Every structure is written in structure tokens, then in C-alpha cells.
Amino acid sequence: MQQSDEQQLLRIRHTCAHLLAMAVQTLFPETKVTIGPTTETGFYYDFDRTQPFTPDDLPAIEAQMRRLIRANLPIIREEVDREQMRVEIERLNEPYKLEILDSIPTGETISRYFIGNPDAGRGTSEIECSLFDPATLPPSEFWWDLCAGPHLNFTGEIDPDAFTLLSIAGAYWRGDETKPQLQRIYGTAWETPAQLQAYLQQKEEALRRDHRKLGQDLKLFSIQEDAGGGLVFWLPRGATIRNIIEDYWKKAHLEAGYQLLYTPHLADLELWRTSGHFDFYRENMFDSMQIEDRDYQIKPMNCPFHVLAYKHELHSYREFPLRFAELGTVYRYERSGVLHGLMRVRGFTQDDAHIFCLPDQITAEILGVLDLTEKILSDFGFKNYQVNLSTRPAKSVGSDRVWALATTALKQALNTKAWDYVEDVGGGAFYGPKIDIKIQDAIGRLWQCSTIQVDFNLPERFDMQYVADNGTRQRPIMIHRAIFGSLERFFGILIENYAGDFPLWISPVQLRLLPINNEVREYVESVAATLKKAGFRVEVDRSGDRLGKLIRTAELEKIPVVAVVGKKEIETQTLSVRTRQQGELGQLTLPALQEHLQQPIQAKTTL
């Protein structure tokens, strides 16, 4: 999408949020308004109302919004004096807007946007008020909101058939559970009705692929409230996939020259003070615990542990690069309202790695990370990416020389890969520049996964050193790197990407044998034992159900291959094979079936 289209969508959606609030206050005058920002695909507005909204209210609110759009009302910006604004907000008895006003720093411009009566627009306007005849506007068609914009110039610039309201949800004011609970109305808006329909179809497909529902239906994972929110239980089938992912990950990293680490789940609180996490990340950390008069902190990050592993001994420049990798479980405090299946949890396992190298090795190491990232993501079925490069922010640590060196190295690596990327000038972390990679799934959605960050902060905080070729002590370059991001979130993405129909190589059950009756069970069990010994993941259905139900159950559980065994199959020493992707394959001998399955497993493709 071009930049001009993005800006137009931003204006459309921001204007729709204001129209939503205007429509609500027209239909339900007692409602108090709060904020109404845009989202990646639409907008929402939070309201304070004694009587809860219901889904039955949405059609009337939508109809009122369409009426305001068709009225083609002007939208006018006005810069206002803080005290004048305070008087007007108090007169309207809008306490949330008053709190927003008070949060605007002294000296910043305060603006509001009018929808309707141009006589209300006095001051700096984006359009000329003289273009309108006040007589053509009913006095009631007038509303304003404290806002920085941007907005359209007329409500009629919105296609009335290119937006819709989606749902109602609860939300705390300012996201604070100690503050009033509000009602949030979500909507989506686009430039054309065709874009809206495409989005709604994608949304419907996303609902079908929802990893939370599929995770339960396919018995992959659960989140038990008895244990606490945001803590994941990997059930046997999900755990099988996790084991496959972990084995693959470890093998790929060992082949790429990494050394594997295992580090503790908690450490003395002083470690987190030294790393800076206690000062800058405290709100996302669980409370510390006291053990034998020392305070211990459960880890929110793996980085300081890898630094300590590095500092276990003094290193020489001849040892570089050093690549440490760990599947390290961390714990972070997330509010219950933002927890979301596997995508937002409180305990998760990061595929962390840290590279310690010399300045002239940065480009090669970054390129190596990109190559490994491409291989791993491609093997799991993700071949389209969106890449962002974030550079030095206004506030940062590290010298100009090392920032320039690191940023140039990141750019050179991306250029060598011939990957298109968007440069986010000033968007890097305070401790170094970074590359972020979003993967595109089967229905076109982008998911943030991989990240590569150069860090000038931790080597300084922990006084990390190595012996240089001239005998002096120098600081190493430290590179943070994750490919999946976390196993939990990546597993959620995998579930939704494949809609639970996993490629044969990661399917928890690759083949299910369906015995027609007890007379064939001995043969079935011998076949299962042979296949398991050959490395295939095989189940024997022991339910005793009729064949039709056996096949239907396997379909619902998305088993990629089933083999029916009856008297005929015993006589011919074959299996009657059916796959989800190719349908009936007919009768195959056991060696023929093994050969048929081996190719897609080795190629990491669907059958």
C-alpha cells in the first residue's frame, strides 16, 4: 500500500471514530466520551455509560453514522487556549476529556475538531469557513472533540458502504484496572466497499483459524485458570510438535556454529539492577522473593545470564565470534485484560541467542543470522517477509563510531541478501540499531517474529572484556537475536497459518491405522510397530467405532494420513490408504507407504 493510501486511511478511520462518538451521544445523550484512536485495521471509541451497550445497539449507531456521512458535514480544526478549553469541557461535564487536557504538556498546541456548524470554527482551520452556509446545517448537527488529528475535511469523503461496527468490549480507563471500566465499540473503515468486504472475509477466515479454538479442538494446549492466567500447558500432541521444533532448532544452531546454554530461571535481584532491567523494565517484572536474606528475581530476560556465561572466563580475540543460544523460559507480568491465547502470555520460552564478536565481524555475523532466519522460517512455511531497520534514537548510549559501524553492518547484510526494507530513522533501541522481521501467513496477515539487535549497553554495564591482538583489554560487540520470538507465540502462528493442517513433518500424528474389527488387530499392531521403529508417528484407533465414524473422527482431528485395515488387507499384506490432501491412494504395501511418506517429510512440505 502506498504512503498516500495509508494517510488517507488514517484520516478516514480517525474521522469514523469521531462520527461514532457523535452518533452515540446523539442517540444516548447521557454517555460520557473518552478516547477514540485508530487501529491497524480500523478504529474504536471508549464510552462511560451506566446502561451497557448491546449488539442490538450497533445497527442504530451505524445508521446514525451513515446519516452524518451523507449530510457531508464540514470538519474544522481549531487551536484553543488551555483555560478556554477547560471552561468548555467543565460546562459539558466531560471528566475524561478534562483529564486528557491536563495530561497535555505545558507549551504544546491544544486543538479540537468540529463536525458540523462552521460558525463554531474560529481560529486556525484546515479549510475556509466561508465555504459553508450556516443556514443549511441544523443546529443539532454539531459536535467537537479534543484531538490532535488528522481528519478529513468533510464527512462525505467517507464511503458510507466502506465501514462497519464490529463488536463491543470492556476496557479500563487508561488501561488501569483500578480505574473505571468503560465500554469500547470497535469498527473498521476502508476507502472502498470492496476493501471492506475483503477485510471481512479475511476476518471470517481468521476466526476459522483461531489458534485458541483449534488448540482446544485438536488437544494441543490449554491454559488452566486453576494454575493462573497466561500460563501454557502443552498437551501431549502440542508437546510433540514443540519437541520437533526444539530438536530442529538445536540441530540448525549447532550446524551454524552456536553453543547451547541452559541458565537458571531466577537470580539475585542485584543482577537485574546491574543490567538495568529493574529500573527500566520493573513494571513488566513479577515481584521479587526473599531467600536466606537475599532478594531473588524470576527472570524476564535471558540476556544477563548469557553475559555471565561469557564472563565465566576471560576470552581472547582469537575465540571470536562466540555464539551462545538457549531456549530459555522467561516470565513477565501482563495485565489479565491483554492476555490472548498463546500470543500474549506470562510465561514463555524465547529462542534466544547472543553473539559476541569483533567490530569487523559484525556484517558477517548479521548476514549469518539472516541466512539462518531465512532457512528456519522457510522450512516452517514462511517465505514472505516485511523487514524494518531501526536506527539511532535521540537518546542513546555508545559512541558515534560504533553506532555508524553497527548501522552500516546491518544495511550491508540486508543489501547482500537483496531484501527490501523500510528504514525507521530514530526508531532503534537506546542501546543499538536493530532489524525486525514480520512474516506473512497464509491469509496475508503479518506477524512480528524475528529480531536482531546490536547492544552497546550491557557490555558497558557488565564491564565485559576480551584480550585484543595488541594485548589490551577491549569491549566485545554484543548482538541479541531471536528467530521465532517465543515458542508459544510461534506455535500459535503455526496453528493459524495451517489452520491446524500441519505439514507432515511436524504433524503430531502422521498416520492413524483404522482396524475394521478385532480380528485384524494383531496385524495392525505389527504394522504400527514397524512404522514407529522407522521413525513415523503412528496411532492405532482402539475405539471400536464403525469405519465411517473412524474416518470422520480422523478428519475432524486433521490426521494427515489414515490406513484402513480389514481382512482383504491382511490377505494382500497391504494397507488401504487415504490422505487429507490427495484423497484415496488405494492399497499400498508397507514399503510403498513408507516411501510415499518419506518424501514430503524430508522436503518439509504437505503431503
Catalytically annotated residues: 303, 332, 350, 352, 354, 434, 480
> Is residue 528 classed as helix, strand or coil in its secondary structure?
helix
Task: Identify any residues that bridge with 335 across adjacent strands, giving them in sequence order.
Answer: none
CA–CA distance, 475 with 473 (Å, rounded to integer): 7
In 419-486, DSSP assigns E strands to 422-424, 434-440, 446-455, 466-467, 473-474, 477-482
Task: Identify any residues that bridge with 289 across adjacent strands, giving them in sequence order.
Answer: 296
Cell of 106: 505545558
CA–CA distance, 389 with 420 (Å, rounded to integer): 10
Instruction: Please state at what angle helix 400-417 crosses helix 362-379, rounded to 10 degrees.
Output: 40
Q: Are 156 and 72 in contact (CB under 8 A)?
A: yes
Cell of 118: 462552521
Residue 466: half-sphere exposure toward Cβ, Cα within 13 Å: 21
CB neighbours of residue 569 within 10 Å: 21
Q: Are 456 and 479 in contact (CB under 8 A)?
A: no
Residue 588 CB burial class (10 angstroms; 0-12, 13-18, ≥19): middle
Task: Identify any residues that bridge with 389 across adjacent strands, giving them in sequence order.
Answer: 423, 435
Angle of CA points 398, 403, 404, to nearest 5°? 150
Nearest Cα to 389, choosing from 437, 435, 425? 435
Q: Are 478 and 454 in contact (CB under 8 A)?
A: yes
Indicate the residue type of 182.
Answer: L
CA–CA distance, 323 with 260 (Å, rounded to integer): 9
Nearest Cα to 585, choosing from 567, 607, 602, 606? 607
CA–CA distance, 160 with 538 (Å, rounded to integer): 55
Place of cell 498463546: 342
Region of 485 on the Ramachandran plot (φ > 0 left; ψ -120 to 50 alpha; else beta): left
